[in-house]
Amino acid sequence: MSDHEDRETFCHDPIGHAEARAGMTVGELAESYGEAGIGANDLHEAVDVYAEMLDDDVTTFFGLAGAMVPTGMRAVVSELIRDGHVDVLVTTGANLTHDTIEAIGGKHHHGEVTPPERTEREHDETLRDEGVDRIYNVYLPQEHFALFENHLREEVFSVLEAEGAVSIQRMTEELGRANSEVNAREDVAEDAGVLAAAYENDVPVYCPAFQDSVLGLQAWMYSQTSEFTVDALADMTDITDIAYEADSAGAMVVGGGVPKNYVLQTMLVSPDAYDYAVQLTMDPSNTGGLSGATLDEARSWGKLEKDARNVSVYADATITLPLVVAAARERAGE
């Protein structure tokens, strides 16, 4: 007799089959993913969770790591800010650097990882000689960094110098103002971007490791010959106050590193924790590193409520972020 002979017929939640047909909306595609398994089902659940986070009663913390701005995700984030779906943005100095470069007239360009006739090293040596920086398959001409330096010195640091030690958030606020004004004044074809949207909509932008970027290098160099200085601890009170006062809170975490931890750790000094969380990452959890750590693991630290709705999607965020955002916004009727 078989061990399972007395078991009732197994009929729990059978796997269906996703559809891919002409004319589907992104929301319909994401809904279809719910019939499937593995990553498709995770993405479907991420849409469910993020759609709930779009509710006006949820205070949403958005963590943005990785090369998301130079690789073309800039408008996704700035539109979320302008439409009131981001209450706090935590990101890297690199993303802010590249956002500013585009705001004031620079551009990133499609490139190659390795041309057919060269090795990758030979290719990068050639780019070095030509004054072109490479981010995987994206190129950035180095002259844009000179434009960036002038912008910081003339439009941002010189204004902040008179204020004494400023917080990083105060610096990003001033940078957003400058990006917005220069973009309009110079009639730049590209949108003013993430920092400008945050400035125009009173959304605080925190960049806890801004020193780890060209923005940080420029701030340090300017401080060597001026009274300009940054207080790295000043932001801690403000961001933890926002977390403390939130009736309901959600975390959308794109990538890992410092932005992810900074978003999640805000709840360690709050009586409550995140009610919702979505993570889009490619880092594995079994290395023990924070970037790939599951959100369930974060629950053990008290960063998520025990009954929080959370999901991690392990895939390239340049693919998953637009899909999740578009499908969730479609569901919300936007």
Q: Cα(302)–Cα(307) distance, rounded to whole angstroms?
A: 11
CB 34 within 8 A of CB 44: yes
Start-to-end CA span in the chain (Å): 57
DSSP code at position 316 = -
For the question of residue 306 being annotated catalytic, the response is no
Give strand pairing partners of 91.
Answer: 64
Q: Which residue has the tokens 């410092």?
A: 258
Q: Phi and psi (nearest 5°) for 211?
A: -60, -25
Instruction: Of 108, 329, 47, 81, give the one whose Cα is nearest residue 204.
Output: 81
CB 109 within 8 A of CB 133: no
Q: Cα(256)–Cα(261) distance, rounded to whole angstroms?
A: 7
CB 324 within 8 A of CB 44: no
Q: How are beta strands 88-91 and 205-206 bridged, if at all?
A: parallel
Instruction: Of 52, 3, 62, give the one whose Cα is nearest residue 197.
Output: 62
Q: What is the dihedral of CA 113, 116, 121, 122, to 10 degrees?
A: -130
Please say whether the dihedral angle defined by the alpha carbons of residues 64, 94, 106 and 221, taken in this order, is positive or negative: positive
Tell me which amino acid residue 52 is: E
Question: Which residues are marked as active site?
Answer: 303
